[in-house]
C-alpha cells in the first residue's frame, strides 16, 4: 500500500532518469531486494508511476529498498531526501557516522544499541527490516580514512553530573569492564559452535543495549575508559559478525563502523585492524574485492611494528582473500606467502589478543583453499582443504561445515562427482546443526554447481538431504 498523494515526486523521476532505470525495471529491482530479505513484494510499473506522478509514498521498507535499488545502479549510496522520500517512516541513518569527537562517538554507538532489534531476532519486523538493502561498501571509506589518520583519541575520561543524568552518576570500574569481556568471550564460543543466528549468540545486541550503553554513558577515568571502549568494541564487532553470518549485511555494516570508532577511543590499534579485517571480509563476500583489499591493507598499515606475528598473519590472509575475489592471482599468492611466513614466526609466548584465539594453521589453510577456489585452481583447493579438515573440532563447527563445502566444490571441479556429493552430504549434516545463513548460502552454491548433473542418483540424494535446510526460515 501507499500513502496519500501529495503532488508529483520530481526528485524521484529525475534520479530514475539519471540512473537509466525504467518504471518496470525499478519495480523488479525493489521486489528482488525485498525477496532477499524475506519480504513478498508485488510492485509493478504502475506502482512506480504512482510514486513519481502522484507522489504516493510506499510503506514499510519500500522507500529504503527504492534507494538501495537506485544506488546499486549508480554505484553510490542514495539518501532518501535525494529521491523525495525523506518523510517516509524513519529508518534513521544510525550507526553510519564516525564522529571525530569522543562524546559524539558515545552517542552514535549507544543510539545504535538502542534500536528495536526485535525484527532481527524474530523475523517479524523491527528496524533492520526498515534498513533492508541499505548496505553500501562506500560507507566504509570515511571510517577507514579517519582511523588511518588518527587511530587513537588523546583522552576519553568522562564525568557525568546530575544535570546530564537525572539519577546519580554511574561510576564505571574495571569490574564492570571485565563483565563485558567475559560476555564477549562467551559469545565468541557460542558463535563458532552454533552460528550467528543461535539464540545464545543473538543476545549480544541485548548485552550492548542493557550493559554496555549505560556504562559508556557513565563516569570513568581515562584508564578505565580505554578498557571500557575496548570491551565495547569487541562486543560491537561480534554483533556485526553475527549479523553478517545471518545475512543482515546492513546491520553488520553499522556495527562494524561503530566498533572501529570505539577501538580508536580505546587506543587499541590491533583491535581496530581486526574490525577493518572484518569489514574487508564482508566487502569481499559481497563481491567488492578491490574495496576488500583497501580495507585489509588499512589494517596492515597501522599495525606494522605493533601487532603480533599471528595478528599480522591474519591481516595478510584477509588481504589474500580480497585479492583472490578481485581475480589477482599474483597478489593473492604473495599475500598468502606473507601470511604463512608471519604465522611460522609466531610463538606460544607471544602476547596475542584473546579475540584471535580462533586463528591457527587450520584456519590459514581453510582460507587459502577459498582463495584458490575463487581463482579456479582446484588442485590447490584440494591440497589446502585436506590440511584444513585434518583436525575437525567441535569448537568451530561452522568453520568445519564451510570447509566441507569448499572441498566438495574442489572435487566437483576436478571431475570427482561422487567425492563431491559425499563431502556435500557431510556439509549438509553440519549445516543442519547450526544457525548460519552464510553456511546455507555455501550449500546453495554447491547445489547450483551440481545442476548439470541433476539426474545423477548421488546428486538427487544430496538435494533431498538439503531440502529441510533450504526450506528453513532465514
Q: Three-state secondary structure along 392-454? A: CCCCCHHHHHHHHHHHHHHHHHCCCHHHHHHHHHHHHHHHCCCCCHHHHHHHHHHHHHCHHHC
| pTM for this model (two decimals) | 0.79
**What CA–CA distance (Å, rounded) separates 72 from 63?**
14
Residue-level pLDDT at 124: 36
pLDDT tens per residue across span 83-127: 988 765 444 578 899 999 999 999 999 999 987 443 343 333 445
In the predicted model, what is the mean pLDDT of the chain?
Answer: 87
How far apart are the C-alpha atoms of 472 and 53, rounded to whole Å? 40
- List residues bridging with 293 in a β-sheet: none
The structural domains of the chain, with segments of one domain joined by +, span 10-83, 102-369, 370-474
CATH fold, domain 102-369, is 1.25.40
Which pLDDT value is given to residue 68?
Answer: 83
Q: What is the per-residue DSSP string for 347-393? A: -TTS---GGGTT-SHHHHHHHHHHHHHHTT-HHHHHHHHHHHTSS--
- pLDDT at position 324: 98
User: In the chain, which residues have pLDDT < 70?
Assistant: 1-6, 36-39, 60, 87-92, 116-134, 162-169, 196-202, 392-394, 472-474
pLDDT digit string, tens, across residues 239-289:
999 989 888 888 899 999 999 999 999 999 999 999 999 999 999 999 999
pLDDT of residue 34: 75
Q: What is the structure's pLDDT at 390?
A: 81
3-state secondary structure (DSSP) of residue 79: coil
Amino acid at each position: 500500500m501507499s500513502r496519500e498523494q501529495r503532488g508529483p515526486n520530481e526528485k524521484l523521476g529525475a534520479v530514475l532518469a539519471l540512473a537509466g532505470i525504467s518504471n518496470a525495471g525499478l519495480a523488479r529491482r525493489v521486489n528482488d531486494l525485498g525477496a532477499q530479505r524475506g519480504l513478498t513484494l508485488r510492485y509493478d510499473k504502475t506502482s512506480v508511476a504512482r510514486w513519481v506522478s502522484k507522489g504516493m509514498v510506499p510503506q514499510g521498507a519500500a522507500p529504503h529498498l527504492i534507494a538501495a535499488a537506485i544506488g546499486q545502479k549508480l554505484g553510490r549510496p542514495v539518501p532518501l531526501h535525494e529521491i523525495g522520500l525523506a518523510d517516509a517512516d524513519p529508518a534513521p541513518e544510525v550507526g553510519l557516522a564516525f564522529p571525530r569527537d569522543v562524546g559524539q562517538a558515545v552517542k552514535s554507538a549507544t543510539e545504535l544499541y538502542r534500536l528495536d532489534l526485535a525484527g532481527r531476532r524474530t523475523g517479524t519486523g523491527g528496524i533492520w527490516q526498515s534498513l533492508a538493502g541499505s548496505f553500501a561498501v562506500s560507507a566504509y571509506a570515511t571510517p577507514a580514512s579517519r582511523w588511518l589518520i588518527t587511530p587513537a583519541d588523546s583522552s576519553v575520561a568522562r564525568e557525568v553530573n546530575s544535570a546530564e543524568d537525572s539519577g546519580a552518576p554511574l561510576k564505571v570500574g574495571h569490574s564492570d569492564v571485565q563483565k563485558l569481556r567475559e560476555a564477549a568471550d562467551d559469545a565468541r564460543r557460542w558463535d563458532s559452535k552454533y552460528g550467528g543466528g543461535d539464540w545464545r549468540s543473538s543476545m549480544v545486541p541485548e548485552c550492548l543495549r542493557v550493559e554496555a550503553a549505560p556504562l559508556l554513558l557513565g563516569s570513568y577515568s581515562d584508564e578505565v575508559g580505554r578498557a571500557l571502549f575496548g570491551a565495547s568494541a569487541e562486543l560491537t564487532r561480534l554483533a556485526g559478525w553475527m549479523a553478517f553470518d545471518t545475512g543482515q549485511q546492513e546491520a553488520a555494516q553499522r556495527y562494524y563502523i561503530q566498533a572501529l570508532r570505539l577501538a580508536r577511543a580505546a587506543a587499541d590499534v590491533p583491535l581496530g585492524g581486526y574490525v577493518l579485517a572484518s569489514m574487508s571480509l564482508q566487502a569481499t563476500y559481497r563481491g567488492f574485492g578491490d574495496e576488500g583489499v583497501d580495507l585489509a591493507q588499512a589494517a596492515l598499515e597501522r599495525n606494522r611494528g605493533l601487532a603480533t606475528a599471528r595478528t599480522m598473519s591474519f591481516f595478510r590472509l584477509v588481504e589474500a582473500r580480497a585479492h583472490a575475489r578481485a581475480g589477482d592471482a599474483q597478489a593473492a599468492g604473495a599475500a598468502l606467502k606473507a601470511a604463512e611466513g608471519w604465522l611460522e614466526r609466531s610463538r606460544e609466548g607471544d602476547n596475542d589478543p584473546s579475540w584471535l584465539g580462533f586463528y591457527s594453521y587450520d584456519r590459514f589453510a581453510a582460507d587459502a583453499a577459498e582463495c584458490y577456489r575463487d581463482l579456479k585452481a582446484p588442485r590447490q583447493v584440494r591440497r589446502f582443504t585436506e590440511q584444513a579438515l585434518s583436525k575437525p573440532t567441535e569448537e568451530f563447527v561452522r568453520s568445519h561445515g564451510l570447509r566441507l563445502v569448499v572441498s566438495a566444490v574442489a572435487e566437483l571441479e576436478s571431475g570427482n562427482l561422487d567425492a563431491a556429493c559425499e563431502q556435500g552430504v557431510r556439509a549438509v549434516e553440519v549445516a543442519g546443526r547450526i544457525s548460519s545463513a552464510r553456511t546455507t548460502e555455501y550449500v546453495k552454491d554447491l547445489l547450483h554447481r551440481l545442476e548439470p548433473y541433476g539426474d545423477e542418483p548421488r546428486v538427487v540424494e544430496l538435494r533431498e538431504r538439503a531440502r529441510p535446510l533450504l526450506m528453513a526460515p532465514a
